Structure 1
């Protein structure tokens, strides 16, 4: 009996070893653990059921998009890259310029009925650089307005007729602020990664960051002047406190802020933090002019960085599943992001949006979606920091009363960092 048990155990062990040897490991790394760790764990568990021959290993996450890009740039030199990396939408360009990610056009062309799995041209466009596809979008966000309806009622506002303009929001913020010294009227996540909420009000008025050939700053025109003025008004008129993004979220979730403008990506986490303490309603971003007004798509894309052919092929199966209908639906249900996959939105998530109208606010703005801009040249990341520093001088109160002068100084500093001539890779 013992002998039979030992033989069976040996066979079982041998089978397990053989299975492990036939598995291809794909190492995956992603940003923002507080938003995405549970998401990637759930998708990985579903993927393992479908493709047991591919082992997905989740590497310790990046803390932010900036850290993720910088880490990939370093690891490309030291040959320590993961096989799959999730990066901010606006960072595809810099990685392509360094020849780091694999082209995906061949994989896409080889797929049959890919459109029936929810993939479409707009998904490819987001991850295109120099005319080739290098990334597929995983999680898309747009800026929205979060409103504490309890504070709105206390301030005499109408929860069923929330303001849609900057003037209206700031006026309501003043009334909420007047409720007491412990209450904030409004906060605006200006320090969000990649100057995203600087680009949003500029793009919403039809503006751009640079001119057509990317040699000169273009955000110093009327659109940028409008955007800088509104950010300054949040401080001078709305009494916006000088908080960083996590503190803004926590303060709003604690019921101490009436209006908070940030990414839809915060929705799931913020709703959990509120835990029913007050009624939350989301609203569309203010003052988007037509027909040229747009909003930058935030979020992240997935790229293949594996160099080995077998690894790349396995990584493509991972990318397909993560951005396909099942992976995209899990992402939407566990975060506040929107899935770019059509099948996920149209089939998998119809009941979800009906039960969670706050999540549908960003989806209603999809027609306004445009690329999150990345500045050209080796100073692209530095330009992001320069803009952040100038915005900080307004938010911390030092130069809140001189938005025109801040914009002029910001323009000069960014112009100095632009490349003298920009190559074909755009």
Structure 2
């Protein structure tokens, strides 16, 4: 067959156009052990829908705090990703510093945005000054994980509903030869469990720009934490080691985010796993902090094609189709209404361990950021205080409360 010069020229032109149409965006997210499998599951459908968009995955953040510090550094160096995933309690600082960009121009172009599952209750989690800056990707709540083989062997057949019952179960398991009956996730990101103990009493840890560590509820929380740690003789494990130990069948009860459920199930040993509602302080919790993260646009590109590609990726991963993979591969709940009501209609009935957090949704409260530029430093102060309880360095909770109040107040913005 004779190929003309004109035909060759047209073919080369078409190839060049395809090459020019290829757009690469960069994406960063935390917790590879939780989310790697989620994004892997999403990619085939995204590539089919957007064959000209290549998503380049950056090294994952270790935590939400690490992600925030990384983005703040990259903003200075001019090396920001196009899309980044951030903890719900870490969005505001990126908005205040002009790093996260409003999504309103993109949303305005979408004809059926609400029909796609993006209802107002979802968008409010990432709305600041009446502008949407992020699309929530996953929601988590604290839950209990139980190795029913260990509990049943100790004669325990009822999942605890209060911390007193948890402590009683610990003592029974210890008497039955279990060396480490519990892991209570004090070291989870953002002082989440401290806030859970505060919200359990219907008390916010931040009110009117002040951190409420001087409140009676804060003292109650510290004293309850100390009781759990000391009476259960809890070992001071790094959180990844604790998750691995529970999955291996060595720990009777673990209190952590529902987000880890998929990872636990994938590595679970030969035992019956059940999840249960987060225990309360004498009565059922009155509230619990919403964990999870949101996708935010941080692209520094002035190329409209790159920005449109970043929006396409950001929208896809939070859409009904994308968000459904969150529930299937993790223990997070997708905030997207279409995912929960249509795609996952039968999913929770077939996966009762993943339904536990859904049943707690009426308790949902804000996961609060600490005010001012020293918010991360305040997080560290409270983390250090909790660590002192776990290691036994702090034994007088009133004294510890006083020290924490003084340190935190020194870091708050001048009123």
Q: TM-score range by the shorter chain?
A: over 0.9
Distance of 2:160 and 2:239 partners within structure 1: 23
Displacement of 1:130: 3.1
Match of 1:375 in 2: 370
Match of 2:50 in 1: 51
Asked if 2 retains the 8 angstrom alpha-carbon contact of 1:177 and 1:239, the reply is: no
Distance of 1:50 and 1:186 partners within structure 2: 46
Asked if 2 retains the 8 angstrom alpha-carbon contact of 1:175 and 1:185, the reply is: no
Unpaired segments ≥5 residues, structure 2? none
Displacement of 1:14: 5.5
Match of 2:199 in 1: 203
Asked if 2 retains the 8 angstrom alpha-carbon contact of 1:206 and 1:289, the reply is: no
Map 1:131-146 to 2 at 5 A.
Answer: 131-146=130-145
Distance of 2:120 and 2:143 partners within structure 1: 25
Match of 1:416 in 2: 410
Instruction: Tell me which of 325, 345, 348 is aligned to 1:350.
Output: 345
SS of 2:393's equivalent in the other structure is coil
Identify if the C-alpha distance between structure 1 residues 23 and 230 changes in structure 2 by more than 3 Å, giving closer, same or farther.
same
SS of 2:402's equivalent in the other structure is helix
Displacement of 1:257: 1.1
Give CA deviations for 1:51-106 in whole Å, capped at 9, x if unaligned: 22332222222222122111111111111111111111111011111100111123
Asked if 2 retains the 8 angstrom alpha-carbon contact of 1:207 and 1:219, the reply is: no
Instruction: Tell me which of 219, 226, 236 is aligned to 1:242.
Output: 236
Distance of 1:372 and 1:140 partners within structure 2: 11
Give CA deviations for 1:219-253 in whole Å, capped at 9, x if unaligned: 33222122111110112211111111111111211
Match of 2:276 in 1: 283
Displacement of 1:7: 11
Match of 1:424 in 2: none
Unpaired segments ≥5 residues, structure 1? 422-426
1:255 aligns with 2:246: no
Distance of 1:56 and 1:113 partners within structure 2: 25
Distance of 1:8 and 1:259 partners within structure 2: 70
Distance of 1:341 and 1:291 partners within structure 2: 27
SS of 1:139's equivalent in the other structure is strand
Instruction: Tell me which of 210, 215, 220 is aligned to 2:214.
Output: 220
Match of 2:314 in 1: 319
Map 1:49-88 to 2 at 5 A.
Answer: 49-88=48-87
Match of 1:339 in 2: 334
Task: Quote the RMSD (CA, aligned, Å).
Answer: 2.3
Asked if 1 retains the 8 angstrom alpha-carbon contact of 2:154 and 2:172, the reply is: yes
SS of 2:211's equivalent in the other structure is coil
Displacement of 1:348: 0.9
Displacement of 1:263: 0.3
Match of 2:182 in 1: 186
Displacement of 1:13: 6.6
Distance of 1:61 and 1:17 partners within structure 2: 33
Identify if the C-alpha distance between structure 1 residues 23 and 219 changes in structure 2 by more than 3 Å, giving closer, same or farther.
same
The worse-fitting range, judged by mean Cα deviation, of 347-356 and 257-266 is 347-356
SS of 1:243's equivalent in the other structure is coil
1:266 aligns with 2:265: no
Asked if 2 retains the 8 angstrom alpha-carbon contact of 1:174 and 1:239, the reply is: no
Identify if the C-alpha distance between structure 1 residues 46 and 289 changes in structure 2 by more than 3 Å, giving closer, same or farther.
farther
The worse-fitting range, judged by mean Cα deviation, of 349-358 and 295-304 is 349-358
Identify if the C-alpha distance between structure 1 residues 179 and 149 changes in structure 2 by more than 3 Å, giving closer, same or farther.
same
Match of 1:302 in 2: 295
